[in-house]
Structure 1
Amino acid sequence: MAIIRPRTEADFVSCVVLLRDVHESAGYPVNWPDDPKAWLTPPDALGCWVVTVNGEVAGHVAVTGTAGGALVERLFVDPKQTGQGLGRQLLDHAGQIAGDHELDLTLEVADNCTAAIALYARAGWRETARTPVAWGGDQASAVISFSAPSSS
């Protein structure tokens, strides 16, 4: 059974190991951070959460406050556990957090993250912009911005 809970200090080792697996298998993040533990807690974070399966960390998400709303960040799932709906559960949780704060939710993703882009499309997110990037090397050429589906 999957459970989403606030990330704790004790989760960092598991999160960094999973992040390395995601980086090597899916190219996220495009550039490996100098300090992965610090990278997992972006500035202006409203919170960071993990999803656990049978007590083991299987994914992560952060939500940050922005001038215009909230942003989904640091969303990733254990590559061995993709296809189980864990990413969608984390994405929905981010939406609930933004809603609790009465903030519009957006996200940005590098164009090399095809599985994530497909997840966002299936979940009803709308592409709003594509911005070329120079930092993606031969991995990514643009960042795609998405807006959360309207809650009706």
Structure 2
Amino acid sequence: MKSVIVRTFENTDLPGAAAALTEVHATDGYPVEGVDHPEAWLRSDDVIAAWVAEVEGAVVGHVALMRPQGEDAVSLWMQQSGDAEDQIAVLARLFVVKAARRHAVGELLMQAAMSYGSEYGLRLVLDVMTKDAAAIRLYERLGWREIGRAPHHYGDGQSVDAICYVAPSG
């Protein structure tokens, strides 16, 4: 595979990122929500910062840091650490198209988000559905620690089991 570039998300990336998201949903069922309006899901007002991975000018991956919106991972971490909500960001919207996997694209995106969190003094948390085994392996390989479990609610009253993680400190 050609070289991967990870850089800050720009508005001109929106069509490519939306297409990549739709492709990942078709192959992996991720995300369980947001694919009806992928551009709005990617550019939510709650995004603090976002990055894309590109290969030869095509967006092949994405990750965002989001302001907390009542996620279980946030409340679990606040209870366990005493951190205030404004010291926490939620790592979300991480996806990589199938053709770009096994080339450390997800890891490069995670490292960009984790570096931002360190630079701005934010503790990162996330939740991941138990069905997403590859993502779980990635988080654990990068030193993220399980802090609890909770249902991930979506759609019309649907839910799926999820694991909540906190990023390594520092």
| Superposition TM-score, scaled by structure 1 size | 0.88
RMSD: 2.0
Runs ≥4 residues deviating over 4 A: none
The residue number in structure 2 matching 1:119 is 138
Is 1:101 matched up with 2:120?
yes
Match of 2:65 among 48, 57, 63: 63
For residues 36 and 75 of structure 1, what CA distance do their matches in structure 2 show? 13
Asked if structure 1 preserves the Cα contact closer than 8 Å seen for 2:127 and 2:164, the reply is yes
2:161 is the alignment partner of 1:142: yes
1:1-152 aligned at under 5 Å gives the runs 1-66=3-68, 67=85, 68-133=87-152, 135=154, 141-151=160-170
Which deviations, in whole Å up to 9, do the C-alpha atoms of 1:65-111 show, x marking residues without a partner?
33241111111111111010000010111101111111111111122
Residues 103, 36 of structure 1: alpha-carbon distance in 2 compared, 3 angstrom cutoff: same
How much does 1:8 deviate? Answer: 1.9
* Post-superposition CA distance 1:36-55 (Å, at most 9, x none): 10101233321121111222
Q: Which runs of 5+ in 1 are unaligned?
A: none
SS at match of 1:115: helix
Report the CA distance between 1:30 and its aligned residue. Answer: 1.6
> 8 Å contact 1:109–1:143 — kept in the other structure?
yes
Could you say what secondary structure the match of 1:10 adopts?
helix
Aligned length: 150
Q: Is the helix fraction higher in 1 or 2?
A: 2
Q: In structure 2, do the counterparts of structure 1 residues 134 and 97 end up closer, same or farther at CA, with 3 Å as the change threshold? A: closer
